[in-house]
Amino acid sequence: GDSVTQMEGPVTLSEEAFLTINCTYTATGYPSLFWYVQYPGEGLQLLLKATKADDKGSNKGFEATYRKETTSFHLEKGSVQVSDSAVYFCALSDLETSYDKVIFGPGTSLSVIP
């Protein structure tokens, strides 16, 4: 079945450091890909998405490019802030094989220290 794999955390960075969180997926069909963010004590929020190969999703300084050839959707940010401390989830939705069901990766916890 479809699945998402993420790099294990926790990840700890200093403020203004470069962030990469790796994400790879397995899907039968042609999925849409997402990054969600969960701040402490809150629900998940959609951070960015991409629906076809080579699309780049971007939001709040975060970017991720849909790479079909490597089945990857890595999240990057050039300069992290303390307020970016959260858990980040890579996810996919494959309408061909699972009606509107979003499958989440295990999440990567990020802590940014001043």
Partner 1 sequence: DTAVSQTPKYLVTQMGNDKSIKCEQNLGHDTMYWYKQDSKKFLKIMFSYNNKELIINETVPNRFSPKSPDKAHLNLHINSLELGDSAVYFCASSQIYGYTFGSGTRLTVV
Binding site for partner 1 (CB under 8 A): 32, 34, 36, 38, 41-46, 49, 51, 87, 89, 93, 98-104, 106-107, 109
Residue whose CB is less far from partner 1, 24 or 98: 98
Minimum CB distance to partner 1, residue 12 (Å): 16
Instruction: Print burial letters for 47-71: b (CB count within 10 Å at least 16), e (below 16).
Output: bbbbeeeebebeeeebbbbbbeeeb
Residue whose CB is less far from partner 1, 11 or 102: 102
Minimum CB distance to partner 1, residue 16 (Å): 26
Minimum CB distance to partner 1, residue 49 (Å): 6
Residues contacting 96, CB < 8 A, separation 6+: 28, 29, 30
CA 49 to CA 41: how far, in whole Å? 23
Residue whose CB is less far from partner 1, 65 or 98: 98
Q: Which residue has the tokens 């300069």?
A: 79
Minimum CB distance to partner 1, residue 86 (Å): 11
Strand partners, 13: 112
